[in-house]
């Protein structure tokens, strides 16, 4: 079908992606809130209340992981299943919409994005859309299934859990990990497994794979032996992700090695694994094997930066995305060298993409700053803890120093709104900016302005 057919329908329908995504996510959150507000959703048989139910539903759909009540003890089996279902719907929805927007933009802007359909034209047929959705779903379910098998076996062999309980624990945490949600069924999250590589490493791997994004994983599966053929998206995502995880691991090793409240009591191998786990989770994973509130201020600052950056584009991760951060680094490098073009490898970066990266970053910084100020007014906590919580909510990360649980209902509502905006914001803003790109048929006189 040519551009005038299904492609035009898609362009018309997704002309305002913010409305489409916000409406869809809002509807799922509303349904989840109703289900979690039912008395049967709690262990006590009493309704959790509107704010608690809505906060938990928002956190699950936005795959964040921040909680106002303990997931393991407050919610019944029905409530936990609802949370897992909301995580799955939210994660698949995010990946599918993000990937479809990428496909749509590849046709709208003339970019031959190397994603699932590998289209060689500027058209977008209904079969392409179906293929993209199918491949995204299969990719997610396969990743969750592999993680479930490993975790189930470990819970059975290592902890003596019966098969049914082990399978439930494995499936719940596999869904939570692959979708970068961070929900756990223990009061201390995963702190009880800090030395267990068979629990920590599969969960960390699922977080990384889910946080790379479907287009990148698909391209890696096809051409992992020939890096020179990788697209700019894959090169930047993989390269920046490796650098951030490596730097994060080294920083946490250096700053937390002797901290008696975090990694100090662990042996050398345990410290390395805990540092690696702590470096992976700010991608948007949200799990923790050490007490976040006990981290040194320097470690907390590093986590702030890593959470704000987040994971890959078209993935379940949040933040401004490693692609945006990587492109900003290339833009700065080109400017420092006095070059009037920004090149990534053997490709030139369009000026529109540069503006989009700067816009998303500055809007995100402003949103975090305003939210941090509001939380400082509403809560009695220090700036470092409040800033950490605001970034965690915006980046849909879920790591917490305890502010979320201890704050007032007004603070809960603010964090709830921040999670929602942080989840749909970068995706819809980036898509909206790209879809609105148009060529101006005239140029105004140039005037130099002093900068700096």
* Across 12-16, 119-123, 354-358, 360-364, least confident range: 119-123
Q: pLDDT for 284-343, tens place per residue?
A: 899 999 999 999 999 999 999 999 999 988 788 889 999 999 999 999 999 898 888 888
Beta bridge partners of 343: 348
Torsion of CA 264, 270, 271, 272, to 10 degrees: 170
At residue 421, the pLDDT reads 86
Tokens of 353: 């993409």
Do 109 and 431 contact (CB within 8 A), yes or no? no
Question: Rounded CA gap, 3 and 21, in Å?
Answer: 24
With CA atoms as reference, report the closest residue to 288 among 386, 184, 205.
Answer: 184
Neighbours of 345 (CB within 10 A): 13
Buried b (16+ CB within 10 A) or exposed e, 201-214: ebbbbbbbbbbbbb
Q: Is the pLDDT of residue 135 over 70?
A: yes
At residue 353, the pLDDT reads 82
Neighbours of 242 (CB within 10 A): 12
- The angle formed by the CA atoms of residues 43, 81 and 18, to the nearest 5 degrees, is 120
Tokens of 342: 């920004």
Question: Rounded CA gap, 383 and 361, in Å?
Answer: 21
Query: Predicted confidence band at 344 (pLDDT cuts at 50, 70, 90)?
Result: confident
What is the average per-residue pLDDT within 59-74?
Answer: 93
Q: Is the pLDDT of residue 117 over 90?
A: no
Do 364 and 320 contact (CB within 8 A), yes or no? yes
Mean residue pLDDT of the chain comes to 85
Q: What predicted TM-score, i.e. pTM, was given to this entire model?
A: 0.86
Q: pLDDT for 322-332, tens place per residue?
A: 999 999 999 99
* Separation of first and last alpha carbons in the chain: 51
Torsion of CA 242, 244, 249, 252, to 10 degrees: 180
Domain ranges of the chain: 3-435
């Amino acid at each position: 079908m040519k551009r005038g057919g299904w492609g035009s329908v898609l362009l018309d329908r997704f002309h305002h992606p913010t409305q489409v995504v916000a409406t869809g996510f809002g509807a799922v959150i509303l349904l989840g809130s109703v289900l979690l507000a039912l008395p049967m959703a709690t262990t006590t048989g009493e309704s959790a209340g509107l704010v608690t139910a809505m906060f938990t539903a928002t956190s699950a759909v936005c795959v964040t992981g921040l909680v106002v009540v303990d997931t393991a003890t407050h919610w019944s089996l029905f409530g936990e299943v609802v949370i897992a279902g909301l995580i799955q719907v939210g994660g698949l929805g995010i990946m599918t919409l993000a990937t479809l927007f990428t496909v749509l933009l590849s046709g709208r802007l003339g970019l031959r994005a190397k994603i699932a359909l590998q289209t060689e034209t500027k058209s977008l047929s209904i079969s392409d859309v179906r293929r993209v959705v199918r491949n995204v779903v299969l990719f997610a379910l396969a990743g969750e299934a592999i993680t479930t098998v490993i975790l189930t076996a470990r819970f059975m062999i290592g902890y003596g859990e019966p098969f049914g309980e082990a399978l439930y624990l494995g499936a719940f945490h596999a869904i939570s990990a692959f979708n970068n949600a961070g929900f756990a069924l223990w009061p201390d999250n995963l702190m009880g497994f800090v030395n267990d590589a068979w629990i920590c490493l599969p969960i960390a791997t699922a977080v990384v794979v889910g946080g790379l994004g479907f287009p990148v994983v698909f391209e890696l599966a096809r051409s992992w032996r020939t890096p020179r053929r990788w697209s700019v998206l894959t090169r930047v995502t993989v390269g920046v992700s490796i650098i951030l995880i490596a730097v994060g691991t080294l920083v946490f090793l250096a700053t937390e090695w002797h901290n008696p409240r975090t990694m100090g009591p662990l042996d050398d191998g345990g410290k390395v694994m805990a540092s690696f786990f702590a470096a992976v989770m700010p991608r948007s994973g949200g799990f923790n094997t050490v007490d976040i509130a006990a981290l040194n201020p320097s470690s907390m600052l590093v986590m702030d930066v890593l959470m704000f950056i987040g994971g890959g584009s078209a993935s379940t991760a949040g933040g401004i995305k490693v692609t945006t951060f990587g492109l900003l680094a290339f833009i700065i490098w080109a400017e420092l060298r006095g070059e009037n073009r920004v090149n990534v490898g053997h490709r030139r970066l369009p000026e529109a993409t540069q503006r989009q990266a700067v816009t998303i970053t500055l809007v995100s910084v402003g949103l975090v700053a305003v939210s941090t100020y509001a939380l400082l007014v509403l809560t009695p906590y220090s700036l470092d803890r409040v800033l950490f919580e605001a970034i965690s909510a915006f980046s849909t990360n879920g790591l917490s120093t305890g502010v979320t649980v201890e704050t007032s209902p007004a603070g809960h509502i603010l964090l709830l709104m921040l999670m929602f905006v942080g989840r749909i914001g970068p995706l819809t803003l980036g898509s909206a900016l790209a879809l609105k790109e148009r060529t101006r048929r005239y140029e105004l006189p140039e005037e130099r302005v002093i900068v700096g």
